[in-house]
Amino acid sequence: MTVAEPLSITRIIAKVFEDLKIPYFIGGSLASSLYGIPRATQDVDIVADIKKEDVSVLVDNLKDRFYIDQDMIFDALHRKSSFNVIHLKTMFKVDVFILGRDDLSKEEIGRKDRYQLSDDPLDQIFLASAEDVLLHKLYWYKLGGYVSERQWNDVIGILQVQSGRLDIDYLVKRAEQRGVSELLEKALKEQSDI
């Protein structure tokens, strides 16, 4: 599936979050495709600051176009984890992660970037910052045993396309906190050799 279809499906959910004043940002491969080199994606990752009082109205707003389970959302809130939303027409899956309460999560949502989809000023979504997407990709690359070519290529793609626009000091500081400093150094060197 190309980037266009996941983007249009994600936009529906993002619009509902915006209408309900639920802070969110999009991460994962969709964000890395928009910041770096576009590639096909199997699902979309959204981080949202959903509260218990948001659940029923969120379900009401999405249930006609998506499979969405209220109990799964409450369980995700309780466990501070995630739940799935599935677009009924395409069966495309969106993973919604509950925003953590730690300082790093709060900083990430504060650093989110507005991404304009068209000339219409209201046609926008919020992405995790390019730096945070890159750091998450490095973390998942490490967690996956350093074998995911996709994760690594996403990192290099972001570094290439966003060259000169990334906050390197932030990357270095956060990479150290996440235990991916050596991977960041390797990626920066590889990107500069291209």
Q: Which residue has the tokens 């910041």?
A: 35
Q: Cβ(111)–Cβ(131) under 8 Å?
A: yes
Return all residues near 171 (Cβ < 8 A) that are at least 6 apart: 131, 134, 135, 184
Q: Which backbone phi and psi does 89 adopt, to 5 degrees?
A: -70, -40
Average of pLDDT values for 57-72? 98
User: Cα–Cα distance between 109 and 104 in angstroms, integer?
Assistant: 9
Q: Cβ(131)–Cβ(113) under 8 Å?
A: no
User: Cα–Cα distance between 35 and 32 in angstroms, integer?
Assistant: 5
pLDDT tens column, 110-124: 999 999 988 998 889
The rounded Cα 123 to chain-centroid distance in angstroms is 18
Average of pLDDT values for 66-74? 98
**Domain 3-127 classification at class level:** alpha beta
Domain coordinates of the chain in residue numbers? Answer: 3-127, 130-193
pLDDT tens column, 4-26: 889 999 999 999 999 999 999 99
Distance between terminal CA atoms of the chain?
28
The per-residue pLDDT of the chain, averaged, comes to 95
**Amino acid type, 84:** N
pLDDT value at 73 more than 80: yes
pLDDT value at 47 more than 90: yes
Confidence of residue 3 (pLDDT cuts 50, 70, 90): low
